Amino acid sequence: MRSDRGIIVDSLGVGIATGTYGVSFGAISTASGLSVLQTCVISLLVFTGASQFAFVGIIASAGNPLTGALTAVLLGSRNLFYGVSLAPKLELDAPGRLASAHFVIDESTAMGVTRTTRRQARLGFYWTGISIFLLWNLMTFVGALAGEAIGDPRTYGLDAAVGAAFLGLLWPRLATWQGRLVALIGAAVALGLVPLTSAGLPIILGGGTAVLVGLLWKPREAA
């Protein structure tokens, strides 16, 4: 059984590595036209990287902000399922669940659900989630100031960086061939809709297709 100290060290390592990446979001966001305040508020209230990058990507491509918000919600909805997995591990009362919900992200879930005891699950979850939240928001602010100074993102290729950052967050989640195939189907739908729909809609419809396929497709277990 791992010691509490070891879990905390691992959690802080994940927190530092992930939180530092917030500087990319801050720089890309303000360089794409959002203010420093708007960028920081997004990180504070949304606090899920994939959703944030997707929203900024749609704004940068002159898409409708409402479409960007719907896309962000679609991508962030996976956290609901994370909460279902975490609930029996953390064993929190209703106020505790409400207070902890904002820290339910990919990394904190991974560091919590793998523990064998409630104490260790809470240590992994809270140390990871809170350290990422603090550092992500600090680095978002630093990046936002830098992005505001940079100006037009196209001058430095930062318009392409939105997609690259989003892919960088997505790729580690595609650990199985089924996940990769579902992602490819969603991407194909999105790409096919690009010339037919307004900015933002392809990723919503493509993402919705991927979610539907993932829910309906249940591979047969090996005999």
162/180 same-domain check:
no
Range of the domain at 17: 4-171
Judging by beta carbons within 10 Å of its beta carbon (0-12, 13-18, 19+), is residue 211 exposed, middle or buried? middle
Measured distance CA(169)–CA(145) in Å, rounded:
23
Specify whether the CB–CB gap between 132 and 18 falls below 8 A. yes
Residues in the chain where the model's pLDDT stays below 70? 1-2, 150-175, 179, 198-201, 203-204, 207-208, 211, 214-215, 218-223
97/52 same-domain check:
yes
202/167 same-domain check:
no
How far is Cα of residue 64 from the mean position of the Cα atoms in its chain?
20
- Give the pLDDT of residue 70: 82
Count of domains forming the chain: 2
How many residues can be counted in the chain? 223
179/86 same-domain check:
no
Q: What is the pLDDT of residues 76-133, one digit of tens each?
A: 887 888 888 899 999 999 999 999 999 999 889 888 988 889 999 999 999 999 999 9
117/213 same-domain check:
no
- Give the pLDDT of residue 72: 82
139/220 same-domain check:
no
- Give the pLDDT of residue 222: 42
- Give the pLDDT of residue 80: 84
62/132 same-domain check:
yes
98/63 same-domain check:
yes
Measured distance CA(179)–CA(217) in Å, rounded:
11
HSE, side-chain direction, 13 A CA sphere, residue 29? 28
- Give the pLDDT of residue 3: 82
